[in-house]
A and B are shown apart, each in its own frame.
Chain A
Amino acid sequence: MTSPRRIDLLRDVLDHEIVDADGIACGMVDDIEFVATPNGPAVAALLVGPGAWLTRVPSLVAVIGEWLFGRSRVSVPWEHVVDISEVIRLDAKAADLRLGRLDAKVGRWLAKLPMS
Chain B
Amino acid sequence: MGKAAELFLGILTAMGGFVEIGELTFTLDGGAHFGYQLLWVTALGTLGIMVYCEMAGRVAAVKRRPVFSLIRERNGFTAALATLLAANIVNLLTCTAEIGGVALIWQLMSGWPYRALLVAAMAFFLLVVWFMPFEWIERVFGLGGLLMIVFIAAVWTMGPDWGEMAAGFVPRPPQVQGPRDGLLYAYFAVALMSSIMLPYETYFYASGGIEDDWKPSDISLNRFVVIVGFGLGALLSVALVAIGAEFFGPHRIEPQLPGTAALAAAAQFGKLGLFIALLGMFFAFAGAAIETALSGAYNLAQFAGWPWGKYKKPREAGRFSLTWIAAFVVGTLVVMSGIDPVKVVEYSIVFSVVVLPFTYFPVLMVANDRRIMGEHANGLLAKVLGWFFLVAITVTALAAIPLFILTHGGRG
Chain A residues engaging chain B, CB cutoff 8 angstroms: 15-18, 24-28, 30, 48, 53, 56-58, 61, 86, 100, 102-111, 113, 115-116
Contact between chains at A25 and B78 (CB < 8 Å): no
In whole angstroms, how far apart are the Cα atoms of A112 and B304 in the complex? 25
Chain B residues engaging chain A, CB cutoff 8 angstroms: 63-65, 69, 72-73, 76-78, 80-81, 130-131, 301, 303-308, 313-319, 321-322, 372
Q: Which residue of B lies closest to A30 (CB)?
A: B77
Q: Which residue of A lies closest to B85 (CB)?
A: A61
Residues of chain A with a CB closer than 8 A to B308's CB: 25
* Pairs A-B, 10 closest by C-beta atoms: A106-B318, A107-B318, A28-B305, A111-B315, A107-B315, A27-B305, A116-B314, A17-B305, A103-B318, A116-B315
Contact between chains at A27 and B304 (CB < 8 Å): yes
For the complex, would chain A's binding face be called helix, strand, loop or mixed by DSSP majority?
A: mixed
Q: How far is the CB of A62 from chain B (nearest CB, A)?
A: 10
Contact between chains at A24 and B305 (CB < 8 Å): no
For the complex, would chain B's binding face be called helix, strand, loop or mixed by DSSP majority?
A: helix
A-B contact pairs, 21 of them (CB 8 A): A15-B76, A16-B73, A25-B301, A25-B305, A27-B305, A27-B306, A30-B77, A48-B305, A57-B78, A58-B78, A86-B64, A102-B318, A102-B319, A104-B318, A106-B322, A107-B314, A107-B318, A110-B321, A111-B315, A115-B130, A116-B315
Q: Which residue of B lies closest to A26 (CB)?
A: B305
Of B77, B306, B315, which one neighbours A110 at CB under 8 angstroms? B315
In whole angstroms, how far apart are the Cα atoms of A5 and B303 in the complex? 27
Q: How far is the CB of B153 from chain A (nearest CB, A)?
A: 39
Residues of chain B with a CB closer than 8 A to A26's CB: 305, 307
Residues of chain B with a CB closer than 8 A to A102's CB: 318-319
In whole angstroms, how far apart are the Cα atoms of A7 and B156 in the complex? 60
In whole angstroms, how far apart are the Cα atoms of A110 and B63 in the complex? 30
Q: How far is the CB of B316 from chain A (nearest CB, A)?
A: 6
Contact between chains at B81 and A61 (CB < 8 Å): yes
In whole angstroms, how far apart are the Cα atoms of A61 and B69 in the complex? 21
In whole angstroms, how far apart are the Cα atoms of A77 and B304 in the complex? 20
Check A86/B306 contact, CB under 8 A, given A16-B73, A107-B316, A109-B318. no
| Most-contacted residue by chain A among B76, B131, B318 (CB, 10 A) | B318
Contact between chains at B65 and A86 (CB < 8 Å): yes
Q: How far is the CB of A116 from chain B (nearest CB, A)?
A: 5
Contact between chains at B131 and A15 (CB < 8 Å): no
Q: How far is the CB of B307 from chain A (nearest CB, A)?
A: 5
In whole angstroms, how far apart are the Cα atoms of A113 and B403 in the complex? 48
